Structure 1
Amino acid sequence: MAKRIQFSANGGPEVLEFVDFQPAEPGPKEVRVRNKAIGLNYIDTYFRSGLYPTPSLPSGLGTEGAGVVEAVGSEVTTVKVGDRVAYAGGPLGAYSEVHTLPATVLVKLPEAISFEQAAAVMLKGLTVQYLFRQTYELKRDETILFHAAAGGVGSLACQWAKALGAKLIGTVSSPEKAARAKALGAWETIDYSHENVVKRVQELTGGKKCQVVYDGVGKDTWETSLDCVEPRGLVVSFGNASGAVSGVNLGILASKGSLYVTRPTLATYATADTLQAMADELFGMITSGKLDVEISQRYPLAEAAKAQTELSGRRTMGSTILLP
């Protein structure tokens, strides 16, 4: 038996339960991992609330963690018992002491990267990797807008954009978060609590606006994002922190300058063929000192509900991890 977080009904953080469960034995192509650290991400709240459906209830939660392989299936050749590994995909259930998942979602973890670093950075870091290196290959001196620049993904985006020589304008909700984003490498910040984002983007770019807007907030920032991108520019809508974008009128894209829009997901980019290479680039950014993984909050696994409450209330900065 082991401990995990599960939920039997959709709802707020109060539906999360800390319970005993029987870990599954690995199937032929599966691996069982003893978690040492677990990542907390906004997408976890989507499954809990029901915005994203779960296969069945009760359900485990979470898709990101790092630990040690303790059992492997008969057909697994990529990892062995005792290997240090990390993951940011697979079936829900990372909020647990032990997690069984397909071998194809695991990456080998170099000794230079700690379990806590890996759990804090895998999903967020791989997200920035595909956003900046694949969805749109960000180039030196390009100006971009990145919403929620002091959050978990945004904190890494500020650093990665600086390393690439790009000018990242980050939206934030307070002077403290503005200072954090600037310290991490943002070219400029806009505090949307008292500044007009569209007006400030126009001022900062001399009226040209941005080549790309990266929007992980969703419903609340959708219109703003469209107004901040230059003609024939790209809006990358990669998250729904404020709710899903719906009812999109394609005519708006024409009227605002023949804009392009994409709604990417990590699962589409981080395939079995590309995952390890993406992770290796991410780990290389960390070991070279270009990315600093700051873990600002740590909670015991049993306090996952409290951690999610703080995350949803935008009272966290940087990464948050759960410790089994």
Structure 2
Amino acid sequence: MAPIPKSMSGILIEETGGVDQLHWKTDLPVPELKDGEVLIRNEFIGVNYIDTYFRTGLYKSTLPFITGKEGAGVVLASSSPSFSEGDRVGYVADRAYAELTAAPAANVVHLPDGVPTEQGAAALLQGLTALTFIREAAGITASVLGVGEAPWTLVHAAAGGTGSLLVQMLSAFGARVIGTAGTDEKCEKARKGGAQWVVNNRTEDVKARVMEITGGRGVDVIFDGVGKATFDLDLEVVALKGTLIVFGNASGPVDPVNILRLGAKNVKLLRPMLFGYVATPEDWDKYTKELFDLIQTGKVNIGVHNVYDLKDVGKAHEDLEGSKTTGKLLLKV
């Protein structure tokens, strides 16, 4: 076994707030490997909107802490029989913004030979989120698509990290996809990703366009990672017996909802989290396998917008929060 260092570099948050609270450190303690965990030397780390929620304090964590939810690299040490030193792996686990991360083996996956490490780091959290929300939250499966007309779906922020993957997967699965985005460039990216209709939410009336596209019917499933700014619109354009999936807070959290608002159309409202859908080894294995199959067969492309040095993570957060990105952001260790 290779020697485990005594200290490591990484990003420490000592107080919540702006990007100035992302402190580069070179003397952080290496996590102690517990039973059933894998110690991974990170090569690439995924940046996700949830990281900003923890940084600002919207989501709570005990201070000080290291944020970050996914990465990929090489196993340095393992207390699990499923992984060995030198294995190339990806993972979804806490404390990713560091040189080394100890991840539960249940949330670690071997990267297939055809999937580069960079792509593995970019794919897991957002890819599994999109896939499980389609399969589990929306209930869109092969059997559903094989009966009657394909469902109408609406994806907000359709050129973003999770949004672009939702568009690609829904299109690959045969759904009818409407995407929204805020610039012509982002609209074009959503269109290339498979959205049959794209609405510019800054220059067009989204409600009018969605109702026009669907012939006044509305959409069967809405995937909303924006939150507060789009929630009322969602309730206006969702179809009778439709499903509204709110999974992000890019514009702020949705205000408390009067449940009676759902009754007019018998709407199903969900606020799902990925980990509830991959909590068992069987589900983790099933969905990681399907995700990598989609990538390796070319049905899903993991687009990386930019790669930053780990110590420059503040710039990555600024770009993400400023809507300056299309696709995935990565940190290089």
Structure 1 length as normaliser, TM-score?
A: 0.96
**Which residues of 2 match residues 182-221 of structure 1 at below 5 A?**
182-221=191-230
- Against the structure 1 CA distance between its residues 272 and 84, is the aligned structure 2 distance closer, same or farther, given a 3 Å change threshold? farther
The aligned counterpart of 1:172 is 181
Compare 237-246 and 63-72 and name the one that shifted more. 237-246
Question: Alpha-carbon deviation of 1:31?
Answer: 1.4
How many residues align structurally?
318
Q: Matches of 1:259 and 1:29 in 2, distance apart?
A: 41
Question: Alpha-carbon deviation of 1:28?
Answer: 1.7
Compare 233-242 and 130-139 and name the one that shifted more. 130-139
Compare 122-131 and 20-29 and name the one that shifted more. 20-29
Deviations 1:275-313 (A, max 9, x none): 122111000000001011111111010100000000000
The aligned counterpart of 2:99 is 97
Question: Alpha-carbon deviation of 1:101?
Answer: 2.0
The aligned counterpart of 1:71 is 77
Amino acid of the residue matched to residue 312 of structure 2? E
1:40 is the counterpart of 2:44: no
Q: Does the 8 Å contact 1:105/1:272 carry over to 2?
A: no
Q: Does the 8 Å contact 2:39/2:100 carry over to 1?
A: yes
Deviations 1:69-127 (A, max 9, x none): 11112xx2221111111112x33x10111111221111111111111101111011001
1:304 is the counterpart of 2:313: yes
Gaps of 5+ in 2: 1-6
**Which residues of 2 match residues 150-165 of structure 1 at below 5 A?**
150-165=159-174
Q: 2:85 aligns with which of 75, 81, 86?
A: 81
Deviations 1:184-239 (A, max 9, x none): 11111111102111111100000001011111111111101111111111101111
Compare 204-213 and 26-35 and name the one that shifted more. 26-35
Q: Matches of 1:258 and 1:278 in 2, distance apart?
A: 30
Question: Alpha-carbon deviation of 1:47?
Answer: 0.4
1:266 is the counterpart of 2:274: yes
Amino acid of the residue matched to residue 256 of structure 2? G
Deviations 1:155-208 (A, max 9, x none): 111111111111110110011100110011111111110211111110000000
Question: Alpha-carbon deviation of 1:246?
Answer: 2.2
Q: Percent identity?
A: 39
Q: 1:22 aligns with which of 29, 32, 45?
A: 29
Q: Does the 8 Å contact 1:46/1:52 carry over to 2?
A: yes
Amino acid of the residue matched to residue 89 of structure 2? V
Q: 2:14 aligns with which of 2, 8, 13?
A: 8
Q: 2:109 aligns with which of 107, 110, 115?
A: 107
Q: Does the 8 Å contact 2:310/2:332 carry over to 1?
A: yes
Q: Matches of 1:45 and 1:25 in 2, distance apart?
A: 26
Amino acid of the residue matched to residue 272 of structure 1? T
Deviations 1:58-78 (A, max 9, x none): 1001010001111112xx222
Q: 1:119 aligns with which of 115, 118, 121?
A: 121
Q: Find runs of 4+ consecutive structure 1 residues off by over 6 angstroms.
A: none
CA RMSD of aligned residues (A): 1.1
The aligned counterpart of 1:286 is 295
The aligned counterpart of 1:242 is 251
Structure 2 length as normaliser, TM-score?
A: 0.93
- Against the structure 1 CA distance between its residues 106 and 272, is the aligned structure 2 distance closer, same or farther, given a 3 Å change threshold? farther
1:254 is the counterpart of 2:256: no
Q: Matches of 1:237 and 1:168 in 2, distance apart?
A: 17
Q: Matches of 2:102 and 2:174 in 1, distance apart?
A: 40
Amino acid of the residue matched to residue 236 of structure 1? I
Q: Does the 8 Å contact 2:31/2:100 carry over to 1?
A: no
Question: Alpha-carbon deviation of 1:137?
Answer: 2.7
Q: Does the 8 Å contact 2:18/2:55 carry over to 1?
A: yes
Q: Matches of 1:108 and 1:134 in 2, distance apart?
A: 24
Q: Matches of 1:237 and 1:15 in 2, distance apart?
A: 28
Describe the SS at the equivalent of 1:118.
Answer: helix
Gaps of 5+ in 1: none
- Against the structure 1 CA distance between its residues 272 and 23, is the aligned structure 2 distance closer, same or farther, given a 3 Å change threshold? farther
